[in-house]
Amino acid sequence: MRVLMVASEAAPFAKTGGLADVAGSLPSALARLGCEVTLVLPAYREVFAKGLSVEPMGLEFEVSIGARNLPARVLQSRLPTGNVRVLLVANDECFDRPTLYGGAEDYPDNSERFIFFARAALEAAGRQGQPFDIIHCHDWQAGLVPAYQKLLYASWPALAPARTLMTIHNMAYQGLFWHWDMLLTGLDWRYFNWQQMEFYGQLNFLKAGLVFADAISTVSPTYAREIQREPGGCGLEGVLASRSDALSGIVNGIDTAIWDPRTDRSIPRNYSEDDFDVGKYAARVALAARLGHAAPDPRPLIALVGRLVEQKGIDLVIELLARMAGGGRARFMILGTGNPATEDALRRMAAAFPGTIDLVIGFDEGLAHLLLAAADIALVPSRYEPCGLTQLYAMRYGTIPVVRATGGLADTVVDASPAALGEGTASGFMFEPFNTAALDHAVSRALDAHADRPLWTGLVRQVMQRDWSWEASGRAYMQVYERMRARPPVPVR
């Protein structure tokens, strides 16, 4: 099966978040299952700054964007596994910029940039010879691809036979633009209507993908249900509910070649479920030295790693610190970035409890690995969470997650109830109401369990034995692909 994967970022080429982890890992998993995968990305400045092996293909063409023709130059590379070809669409005007999408505010021409990318990705793929069976598109930046495949490239032999899959990584980001940007797409104005591409007077890239794609997926079964109703659908719940028969929820995997305490070079001593106590203590010693502490604190270490934003429940965490930091039951460490007000609030909290709270503003991949190896408990108290990777990384390293029962968190963590503990299925501590009292109660339950060493040892061993590799997710996507091929394409109205 020949698969064309279209994404706006993929590790290790360019990354702002979880989308890059998925787009950088899923193609390799599919290739190991027998697919021939081609991944198409923008050739950002970041790609070249990383010193990766990128070569010219000798393929150049122009793409019409409204009244302008923008040149596209196609480069090629491969994912680190070597089994996936990568095409990089270069245009300095669009992609030679300091960041992928903008800084504090999005680039004002993001509509034009990703109209260009969608069309250039298809044109580059369409010149590769053999036809593709599946065109798999990720998030709003690739949302116009299913529309273009059906409306503008229906006669291209390499593209026309394909079925299109639109994967939603986060409904909160939809690609909303001025309605006059419809002129830039090259598509007929008749598609700018409430059933297809229009959303409250604006052009909606993600909606276009949801309407024109042959099938839709998102990154967990629970999130697939949540987005078909308010508020999870972010205004598109009606569109999604109308296509429920074409919607699948597939939990993301993790790259176990990178996230594995048995082989991880970012930690001082590798370990498995059989000797995790020794390995985690070595990580605690290294973390203490990294932070300038004389010795590791004997209290349980609770970690928060990730974006310090409302979606991730950082407001609850700040309130939790105010309630728990003075009690002496645990030590906390936070690693991540957020808006200036949130970062300042955390700095004040850390200054108030210097012996209990460590704060590192920024992101350091190696430090993230070390912290998850050293910690006993990982906080993931998200307001909503399509899938979540932090809890999967944490479990891989024998760090027990405390999560809110939403989205992929509910699909990947089994609450440590007496029944689940007795059955050997427990993997964390869960709370449902989005409030500090509920989070406090879940953390207290985790700390009580930590004090029971036989119980805690059994729990850690259980979570470390679970398989969150991409192979299971890849097989689920293969099943979706096969179902898509067995059905006729979605007709264009």
Q: Got the DSSP string for 10-22?
A: BTTTB-SSHHHHH
CA-CA distance, 195 to 239, in Å (whole number)? 8
What's the CATH fold of domain 2-253+472-486? Rossmann fold (3.40.50)
Radius of gyration (C-alpha) of the chain in whole angstroms:
23
Q: Among candidates 372, 390, 371, which has minimal Cα distance to 381?
A: 390
Q: Rounded to the nearest 5 degrees, what angle is found at the Cα of 175, between the Cα atoms of 125 and 406?
A: 105
The token pair that represents 297 in the structure block = 């604190």
Beta bridge partners of 200: none
Q: What angle do CA 458, 460, 461 make, to 5 degrees?
A: 65
Reduced to 3 states (helix: H, G, I; strand: E, B; else coil), residue 75 is strand
Q: Which residues are within 8 A (CB) of 370 and not within 5 positions of it... i.e. 6 or more apart?
A: 266, 267, 283, 286, 287, 290
- Residue 2, SS3 per DSSP: strand
Chain centroid to Cα 490, Å, comes to 27
Backbone phi, then psi, for 485, in 5-degree steps?
-65, -25
Contacts of residue 197, defined as CB under 8 A and 6 or more positions apart, other chains included, come to 147, 182, 187, 191, 203, 204, 207, 208, 211
Bridge pairing between strands 198-199 and 202-204: antiparallel
CA triplet 397, 39, 234: central angle to 5 degrees? 70
Q: What is the pTM of this model?
A: 0.92
Q: Hey, what are 90's tokens?
A: 């270069």
Residue 134 β-bridge partners = 3, 163
Task: Give the CATH superfamily of 276-467.
Answer: Glycogen Phosphorylase B; (3.40.50.2000)
Spatial CA neighbour of 224 closest among 204, 210, 205: 210
From first to last of its 493 residues, what are the pLDDT tens digits of the chain?
A: 999 999 999 999 999 888 999 999 999 999 999 999 999 999 999 999 998 999 999 999 999 999 999 999 999 999 998 899 999 999 999 999 999 999 878 999 999 999 999 999 999 999 988 999 999 999 999 999 999 999 999 999 999 999 999 999 999 999 999 999 999 999 999 999 999 999 999 999 999 999 999 999 999 999 999 999 999 999 999 999 999 999 999 999 998 888 999 999 999 999 999 999 999 999 999 999 999 998 899 999 999 999 899 999 999 999 999 999 999 999 999 999 999 999 999 999 999 999 999 999 998 889 999 999 999 999 999 999 999 999 999 999 999 999 999 999 999 999 999 999 999 999 999 999 999 999 999 999 999 999 999 999 999 999 999 989 999 899 999 999 999 999 999 988 7
Q: 424: left (phi > 0), else alpha (psi -120 to 50), else beta? A: left
Cα–Cα distance for residue pair 455/463, rounded to 1 Å: 13
Where are the CATH 3.40.50.2000 domain residues in the chain? 2-253+472-486, 276-467
CA–CA gap between residue 83 and residue 89 (Å, rounded): 20
> Which residues have CB under 8 Å from 469's CB, separation 6+?
29, 253, 254, 256
Cis ω before 131 (30° cut-off from 0):
no
**3-class DSSP state of 122:** helix
